[in-house]
Each structure stands twice: as C-alpha cells, then as structure tokens.
C-alpha cells in the first residue's frame, strides 16, 4: 500500500493550481494582443464650434517635423480583398501644419495620399474610416497634434509592415499579428461623428416621432399645408454639419432601409416642418443644422419600430454614408 504524505499531496495541488493560472494568463494575454481589440483610436469628440476655418498653407519645410507612432489597429475583414492598419500618430512641428500624405509610402509602394480605391471598396461594404476619425492630410493649427491615418496592405499574409516617411528618414513599423481590431469599429451609429477626413464633420441623432406636427410644402413659390392621412407616422432625424474649410457641403438625398429591405425615401426639400428645417438640398459652408423627414405607414395605430440603417448621400461623394440606427 502506497502512503502519500500530506505535505507532498499539498505541494502537488499547489503546482497544479499554479500551472492552471499560468495557462489562463497566457491565454488572456494572447486574446488581448491578437484576437479582438474593440477600443477606439479616436477619443470621444464633438463637432467643432465653428466651420469655415482658415486652412494653413501647405507646409514646405519638413525637415523639423517629427512623426511618432502612438497606437494602431490592424483590420483583417472577411470579404475585403486587402488588410489595413489605422495608425494613430503624433505630429510635432514648430508651427501650424498642412502636410500631404504623399510623403508616407508603405513598403508595398502605396502612397498614403493615393488610397481612394481602397476607401471606396470599404465604404461599398458599409465600413467607414471616418468612424475612427481617419484623415487624408495632416492639417492643424497646433504645433503638436494627433492624427489617424489609413494604410492598405495588399499582402494578406504579411506579418509586418513598414511605412517610410520621406523627410528625415523616419519610419513607422507595425506587427500585423497584434492589435487586431473588430470591424464594428468602422460602423457608424447615432450621435457618432461622421467625416470624410477632408472637408466636413457631421452628426446624426436617433429618430424621433413628429406625427401631428404642422408641415408645409412650397411649389413654384406657393406654400400650402402638407396634409397627411391618419394612417401614417412621421419621423425625423436631426443633423448637424460643419464645413471645416468652407467647402460647400450638401445632403442631396437620404433613405431609411429596414432589415427586411423596405425603403423609405426622405421627404424632399419642398416639404418643411413648422418646428424643424429640412436639410435636404441645403448648401452649408460653415456650421448649420437641419432635419430629415420620413413617413412610415401605420394603419393599425400601434407604435412602429423598424430595425435598419439610415443612408445619406453627400453631393460629390461616390458612396452613401450608412448609419446603423432604429426608426422608432
């Protein structure tokens, strides 16, 4: 008969528990570094107080400017034919800055100011870099500032990436097996800051019911009450838009598309509410606000809730902006 001393048994149990703890720590570390990073690169922000600001002149003297990598996210999304990095960089200069990203070139030869085809492919799948406040020029009136930049990666099996900066022999380096990010970070929701990274920022509220409010329609200069049947509900979204540098920003169309593919078109610019101004067709060169109006049929007079997306078409842009928001 084998007799196991109490002290020996206790030691075996402690070793076993220690091994389990070490395995758990390693697993959690790998998960944090390599699997799912859901933290935004952009700090919670609000729209600028004013628009139509004076844009700094293009920076000619670049030798004194320092670029540092502050953080980054690696995106590997099913159905997207390339991987990409969003890098948060710190820019230090002795004066204000307007620096083209043509000076930033990946080791695959991609100039970061020539990435529109990749942006369009992402937006075609409803992924928006603006959700992470990505910019396509480094523009600021501050001497030190942060900016998020977009770096496509053609080789989807690459393990590392370098971006060379043409002034002062600077370089950004990335481990592509860590800092993996959730694609949800690229999907707009109500009250997010929406931007093209060049000319505008805007925000869209949640929907709210304005059924029963007086509405009017103006045709050929003649305004009359816009009458609606009792079997409909009217919903509105508030939009606030800032033209950063004085460019004309215009929402030319909007739709609400439900998850089962019902499409509601926004009421056109001829229709106004007594309380809210229709933003369709409004030309914005500073900071302004307005609303979108949608009619949903409700013949049995029950509260209506639709799950789906709001789509916005900015004049001159190739793709619709998509915002994941309920209509209720």
156, 186, 216 — which closes off a domain? 186
Does the residue 58 lie in any domain?
A: no
DSSP labels for 241-261?
Answer: EEESSS--B-EEEEEEEETT-
Cα(136)–Cα(101) distance, integer angstroms: 7
Strand partners, 217: 224, 271
Model pTM score: 0.86
Cα(269)–Cα(217) distance, integer angstroms: 9
Using DSSP, state whether 155 is helix, strand or coil.
Answer: coil
Does the residue 108 lie in any domain?
A: yes
Do residues 253 and 290 share a domain? yes
Return the DSSP state at 26: H
Among the listed residues 44, 102, 47, 100, the one whose alpha carbon sits nearest the alpha carbon of residue 244 = 47
Going residue by residue through the chain, which has 328 residues, state the pLDDT in tens, using 9 for 90 and above: 445 455 555 666 566 666 666 655 544 444 444 444 667 887 657 899 999 999 999 999 998 899 999 999 999 999 999 999 999 999 999 999 999 999 999 999 999 999 999 999 999 999 999 999 999 999 999 999 999 999 999 999 999 999 999 987 899 999 999 999 999 999 999 999 999 999 999 999 999 999 999 999 999 999 999 999 988 999 999 999 999 999 999 999 999 999 999 999 999 999 999 999 999 999 999 999 999 999 988 766 666 788 999 999 999 998 999 999 998 8
Do residues 138 and 217 share a domain? no
Give Cα separations from 249 to 167, 200, 241, 246, 313 (angstroms).
34, 7, 8, 9, 11
Structural domain that includes position 168 = 66-186
CATH number at residue 73: 2.60.40
Does the residue 26 lie in any domain?
A: yes
Report the number of distinct structural domains present in the chain.
3
Give Cα separations from 54 to 29, 268, 283 (angstroms).
46, 33, 19
Do residues 216 and 113 share a domain? no
Instruction: Could you list the beta-strand ranges (E) of 113-169.
Output: 137-140, 144-153, 160-165
Does the residue 291 lie in any domain?
A: yes
């Amino acid at each position: 008969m084998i007799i196991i001393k109490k002290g020996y048994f206790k030691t075996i149990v402690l070793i076993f528990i220690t091994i389990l703890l070490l395995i758990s720590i390693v697993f959690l570390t790998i998960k944090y570094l390599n699997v799912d990073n859901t933290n935004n690169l952009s700090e919670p922000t609000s729209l600028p107080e004013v628009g139509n600001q004076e844009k700094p002149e293009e920076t000619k003297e670049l030798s004194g400017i320092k670029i540092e990598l502050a953080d980054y996210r690696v995106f590997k999304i099913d159905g997207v034919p390339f991987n990409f990095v969003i890098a948060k960089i710190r820019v230090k200069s002795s004066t204000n800055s307007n620096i083209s990203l043509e000076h930033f070139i990946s080791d695959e030869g991609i100039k970061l100011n020539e990435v529109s085809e990749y942006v369009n492919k992402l937006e075609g799948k409803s992924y928006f870099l603006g959700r992470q406040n990505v910019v396509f020029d480094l523009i600021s009136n501050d001497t030190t500032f942060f900016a998020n930049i977009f770096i496509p990666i053609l080789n989807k099996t690459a393990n590392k990436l370098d971006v060379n900066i043409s002034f002062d022999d600077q370089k950004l380096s990335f481990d592509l097996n860590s800092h993996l990010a959730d694609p949800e970070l690229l999907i707009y929701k109500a009250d997010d800051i929406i931007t093209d990274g060049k000319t505008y920022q805007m925000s869209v509220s949640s929907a709210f019911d304005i059924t029963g409010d007086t509405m009017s329609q103006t045709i050929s200069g003649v305004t009359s009450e816009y009458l609606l049947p009792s079997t409909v509900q009217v919903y509105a979204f508030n939009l606030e838009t800032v033209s950063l540098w004085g460019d004309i920003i215009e929402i030319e169309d909007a739709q609400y598309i439900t998850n089962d593919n019902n499409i509601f078109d926004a009421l056109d610019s001829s229709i106004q509410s007594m309380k809210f101004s229709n933003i369709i067709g409004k030309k914005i060169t500073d900071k302004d606000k307005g609303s979108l109006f949608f009619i949903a049929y409700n013949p049995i007079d029950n509260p209506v809730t639709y799950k789906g997306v709001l789509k916005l078409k900015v004049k001159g842009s190739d793709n619709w902006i998509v915002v994941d928001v309920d209509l209720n």
